[in-house]
Amino acid sequence: MKKKILLALSASALVVGAHAADKTKELATHTEMGYIQTNGNTKTRTFNLDSKAQREWGVHGLNFVFDGQYAKDRDTTTKKKFFTELGYDYAYTPRLAFSYIAGYKYDAFSGYDYQAYTGPGIKYKAIVQDTQHLTLEANALYSQDKIENPSETTSYAAYLARASYDLQINQNLKFTQDLSIRGSFEDGDNYFVYSKTALISKISDMFSAGISYKLDYANIPQAQYKTDETLTFNLIMDY
């Protein structure tokens, strides 16, 4: 399965390289980092990294997302998860684009060894204004899940619906909301919801401070807890 994912990611990159236009936009990156350590009556370590990168070549675009969290309570690991996704966009118009994505998710306490998916879709910029942006995306996917107990691998046709909203409240304060649902076409009870709500305050041209609330919901019977919630305070770097 990992070979299939790597092939899908490589294919997306090759398509971009083969058809890239002369006009390009420089690589833009957004990185959020948070770390909390306590000692004494409690001894904990919590670390999170949320990173995005995007580059455009004329009508072509490539974007990459990584979101990872790790936590430890004394000698016991309490959270160990990461999610990564690579996407390719071909813009038909300034607002409408064809998209192709490939994603992989690992969560040590979710009941899965891994979850992976890939497939085409469309992306539409519903709101394009100076102070706010709303992007809607829908994809048809081939999904594969490796379940821990009982140990088995399932493959199925799936969908992904996603919305991303940004609001520039003032010159130095920004609100963002990402919401997505991914699920099986055949089994309506097999679905996953992700939400991230954030406030970002600008410190300088490159650095910001932010607070974010993430909700990761899995509607599956093998998970001990269906909802995983994370509140983080982050140092953010844009360059």
Q: 64 forms bridges with which residues in the sheet?
A: 53, 86
pLDDT attached to residue 93: 94
Q: How many domains does the chain have?
A: 1
The range of the structural domain enclosing residue 17 comes to 2-238
Rg of the chain over all Cα atoms, to the nearest angstrom: 19
pLDDT attached to residue 26: 78
**CATH code, domain carrying 107:** 2.40.160.40
Q: Which helix (H) or strand (E) holds 1?
A: none
Interval 102-129: pLDDT, tens: 999 998 888 788 999 999 999 999 999 9
Dmax (CA) for the chain in angstroms is: 59
92: left (phi over 0), alpha (psi -120 to 50) or beta: alpha
Beta strands in 92-131 (DSSP E): 96-107, 112-128
pLDDT attached to residue 85: 97
Name the one residue in this structure whose structure tokens are 């038909």. Answer: 92
Provide the 10 A C-beta neighbour count for residue 86. 22
Percent helix / strand / coil, the chain, rounded to 5:
10, 70, 20
Which residues of the chain register pLDDT less than 70? 1-25, 221-225
